[in-house]
Chain A
Amino acid sequence: MLHLEERDAPPRRRPPFAGLLAALSGALLLAGGCASNAPAPTAQIDSAKQAIDDAERAQAAQHAAPELSQARSKLASATTAVQNEEMEQAARLAEEARADAELASARTAAAKAQAANDEIRRANQALIEEMGRSTTGGTQ
């Protein structure tokens, strides 16, 4: 009996209540979406810093200067964005700074590997020439 009554009643009783709930949750969502006091993207900024440190340690300043300075200036902009409470923008800038720094490191590694190969090639050549000279010296 009770069960049946409840089944019939809802269409009349619930709409205003449901509407209120929906309006409330909508308002909450809006408030959440608009609020700019999101936390600062500390993790992103830290990993950008670390990536820049790594690149600097690898001497990216010598081998990938444009990428490294791009990373530094993006990180600086990210820090400014945090001060201005533009947290989403800060997070994006930090992520870009990290991408720049990682690229700087990789290009540095590639340049160094290339330079090492060139040095080894030269050393190889010198050794071969030296051997040739020694052999001639020995037989004559």
Chain B
Amino acid sequence: MKPRHNLSAHAWTRLAGAGVVAWGLVACAPTPVVPEGAVQARAELTRLQSDAKLAPLAQQALTEAEAAVQLAEQTDAKPEVAAHRVYVAQRKVELARALAEARFAEQERSELTAQIDRARLEARERETAAARSDAQTARLDADAARMEAAAMRAEMEAMNARPTDRGMVLTLGDVLFETGKADLKGGAVADLDELARFLAKYPDRSVVIEGHTDSVGSEDFNVGLSERRAASVRTYLVRQGVDTSRITTQGMGESVPVASNDSSGGRQQNRRVEIIVSNPTQPSM
């Protein structure tokens, strides 16, 4: 009994010794450990992916976040590369969440503005029933119009349009077009989809689409390019169901810079498409 026990203990010691040697060998190779930050990013991503309310609203961003998290989970990267991948992965997951939340709020807004429309309709119906005085009717109409204008302004601002003398202006940056080309890149589409929804809701609004370029290249080329870019925005909006008669396009070339053409940053700002949403004829208040 006893010797047998001793023997097995001895064998165990030897085994452990071999194990230590093997461990030492393994430790010489980069230790395959998923970075802690990547584990957190994965957890956060999984939470978002399984959120039935938000996940369907940012599928593209979720796919990108998934790829970034997978990259961050790799165990063979140098420390600085691993830290970088973790950082990007965390940001991409947060980005997907923020995009989904923005999208969710937009959907909510459509319901809210529909409520305003119903309230206005109701007001009209009651007007006839109550046989209100002209003054009362006028005041109620003006109020409703003011509310609607406020709602519309809020929507335009949410689209990143700025109020100007000419109306609300939505600017699509150069990054939304291929260099020297008129084709729209993916990023522009989200803004334009929102604009198309806006135009569907407010049929009394029309838009002027202006293409602009920097001062590089001949003026003829620039005017042509800016025209083609404006036209490609129009084509997109028309495909989204906006009537052609509501859209005017203009190629401004390099004639209206918003920044200096002397720096690359300034030139980049100058290469843009501006969409001006006209102010409708305001009801007199």
Which residues from 1 to 37 on chain A have a C-beta closer than 8 Å to any C-beta of chain B? none
Known contacts A106-B99, A113-B106, A116-B154, then 10 further A-B pairs from the complex at CB < 8 Å, ordered by chain A residue: A53-B268, A99-B87, A106-B102, A109-B102, A110-B105, A112-B102, A117-B108, A119-B151, A126-B147, A134-B132
Given A99-B88, A126-B147, A135-B130, A119:B123 Cβ within 8 A? no
Q: Which residues of B contact A (CB under 8 A)?
A: 80-81, 84, 87-88, 91-92, 94-95, 98-99, 101-102, 105-106, 108-109, 112-113, 115-116, 119-120, 122-123, 126, 130-133, 136, 139-140, 143-144, 147-148, 150-151, 154-155, 157-158, 160, 171, 173-175, 264-265, 268-269
> Measured between C-beta atoms, what is the minimum distance from B176 to chain A in Å?
9
Closest to A122 in B: B150
CA distance A136 to B151 in the complex (A): 26
- Contact among B88, B115, B144, B148 for A96, CB-based, below 8 A: B88
Closest to A52 in B: B265
Residues A107 and B147 in contact, CB atoms below 8 Å apart: no
> Measured between C-beta atoms, what is the minimum distance from B255 to chain A in Å?
21
Q: Is the interface of B mostly helix, strand, loop or mixed?
A: helix
Decide yes or no whether A127 CB sits under 8 A from chain B: yes
Interchain residue pairs with CB less than 8 A apart (18): A50-B173, A53-B268, A53-B269, A92-B84, A99-B88, A113-B102, A116-B105, A116-B154, A116-B157, A117-B109, A117-B112, A119-B154, A120-B112, A120-B151, A123-B116, A127-B123, A127-B144, A130-B143
Of all A-B residue pairs in the complex, the 5 with the closest CB atoms, nearest first, are A113-B105, A116-B154, A106-B98, A99-B91, A110-B102
Residues A96 and B87 in contact, CB atoms below 8 Å apart: yes
Measured as residues with beta carbon below 8 angstroms from the partner, the interface class of chain A is 35 or more
Which residues from 70 to 94 on chain A have a C-beta closer than 8 Å to any C-beta of chain B? 89, 92
Most A C-beta atoms less than 10 A away, residue of B101, B154, B174, B264? B154
> Measured between C-beta atoms, what is the minimum distance from B168 to chain A in Å?
13
CA distance A128 to B144 in the complex (A): 9
Residues A112 and B98 in contact, CB atoms below 8 Å apart: no
Residues B105 and A92 in contact, CB atoms below 8 Å apart: no
Closest to B99 in A: A106
Decide yes or no whether A39 CB sits under 8 A from chain B: no
Residues A131 and B88 in contact, CB atoms below 8 Å apart: no
Residues B101 and A110 in contact, CB atoms below 8 Å apart: yes
Residues A138 and B131 in contact, CB atoms below 8 Å apart: yes
CA distance A99 to B90 in the complex (A): 9
Most B C-beta atoms less than 10 A away, residue of A102, A112, A120, A124? A120
Closest to B144 in A: A127
**A-side contacts of B120, CB under 8 Å:** 127
**B-side contacts of A58, CB under 8 Å:** 160
